[in-house]
Amino acid sequence: MLDDSIIISYLKENIDEKRLAHSLGTAKEAVKLANKYRADAKKAHIAGLLHDVAKGKSQCGFKKYADQYGIDIDDIEAKNTELIHGKLGAAMVKEQLNIDDEDILCAIRWHTTGRAGMSLLEKIIYIADLIEPGRHFEGIEGIRVVAYQDIDKAMLLALEQVMCFVRSKGFALHPNSLEAYNYFKKEEVN
């Protein structure tokens, strides 16, 4: 696994200071969640640090970079290009940092939309990204509490929150998010 100094240098080349602070907060929260749920804390740390590495590419256009990395973009992503940064980030760290750990790459890839059947590390990064200490929005405290009680219930709450936010901005909900929501809703009933 890569040394933190290499990852931090890479982040500084690709994202601004505000996004770096968010990434550090996400990594710290991811490690806490990993320890709580007995997941691999080192992988959680790395994925938390790198989850938003592609955010700095937005000014040049996510679509351009998606083409460069051979990433397929669906209709929803074409209209809401922010959704591309998870896929793009996974491709970037695989190519540029030689990270080939599928757990880490999938956690980065799926932190934007979620998906049905998420791995524990994927859930940890999704939740850590949402609840890291720099985030402030209505309902976050409830998600923060539930995140340390039942990660699947936290995913359901988080997805509900994100779905409301996406709709309030006038964007269509990504099918992966809806599938994730339905998956966790079904799990809650069982």
178 occurs within a structural domain: no
Q: Is residue 154 part of a domain?
A: no
Q: Which residues contact 163 (CB under 8 A, 6 or more apart)?
A: 173, 177, 178, 181
Domain assignment present for 184: no
Is position 156 within any domain? no
pTM: 0.96
Structurally, how many domains does the chain consist of?
Answer: 1
d(CA 76, CA 15): 24
* Residue 60 predicted with pLDDT over 70: no
pLDDT value for 190: 67
What's at 188, amino acid-wise? E
pLDDT confidence of 187, banded at 50, 70, 90?
confident
pLDDT tens track for 139-166: 899 999 999 999 999 999 999 999 998 9
Domain containing 31 — which CATH number? 1.10.3210.10
Residue 59: predicted pLDDT: 61
Q: What SS3 state is found at 15?
A: coil
Structure tokens, 66 = 């998606």
- Give CA–CA dist 55/172, Å, rounded: 20
Q: With respect to residue 95, please indicate whether it lies within any of the assigned structural domains.
A: yes
Q: Provide the residue range defining the domain that includes 24.
A: 4-137
Q: How far apart are CA 45 and CA 169, in angstroms?
A: 31
